Amino acid sequence: MENKVIIACDFKNRDELFTFLKPFAGLNPYLKVGMELFYAEGPEMVRELKKAGFKIFLDLKLCDIPNTVEKAMRNLAKLDVDITNVHASGGIKMMEAAKRGLEGSNTKLIAVTILTSLDDEALKNELDINKSVKEVVYDYAANAKKAGLDGIVCSPFEAGIAKDLGLISVTPGIRLAGDSKGDQKRVTTPKDAKELGSTYIVVGRSITASQDPVKEYLRCVKEFQND
């Protein structure tokens, strides 16, 4: 069975990451490498993780003019990560350019829709978007599909939109029951995310800040992947 629980490895550097991973020997969890860690350690660390057998979601959220994004993706394609992403707000042409940049690789390309730290109020009052989160996610997901992408990043509450469009959904905003929401607003448990139709879930602090990360990771896997 494919592992569909992705651990958000929001660590300062390589040493912190590999110290965290030691107890996971033999489990080889799916890892999300985001901006903090990638900017600290660069592509060599990603190559090292791939060589060690980890699946990688490289979460860099590219958003720029199409030509720049295409060239950046050509470089990322060499890392052979399993999933990477762009911001859907960059538009269809940018997403198409990103897809071209990955030609010849097996990397899945997904588009970030609305961050899980945002809600309807923030869209209206801060971003001047007079639509609900679900409406915007649908519009962005439809654009991602037109651009030929594999899926979207959204909260579990919008995972059904991706499913209806034939796209995969990678859903952050996951907390185990009783954990703090932190800086995220649209949050669910792994069990709820499964019921809402998420393809993959991304779990960070509920695992990485735990006294027993392996135990909490296996708890997430059981809740999300087991019947």
Q: Residue 151 in contact with residue 169, Cβ under 8 Å? A: yes
Which residues pair with residue 162 across a beta bridge?
A: none
Q: Which of 4, 50, 55, 61 is catalytic?
A: 61
For the chain, give me the number of helices (H) and strands (E)?
11, 8
93 is catalytic: no
Is there a contact between 81 and 48 (Cβ–Cβ < 8 Å)?
A: no
SS3 at position 227: coil
d(CA 84, CA 111): 9
The DSSP-derived string for 100-160 is HHTTTS--EEEEE-S-TT--HHHHHHHH---S-HHHHHHHHHHHHHHTT-SEEE--GGGHH
Query: What are the catalytic residues?
Result: 61
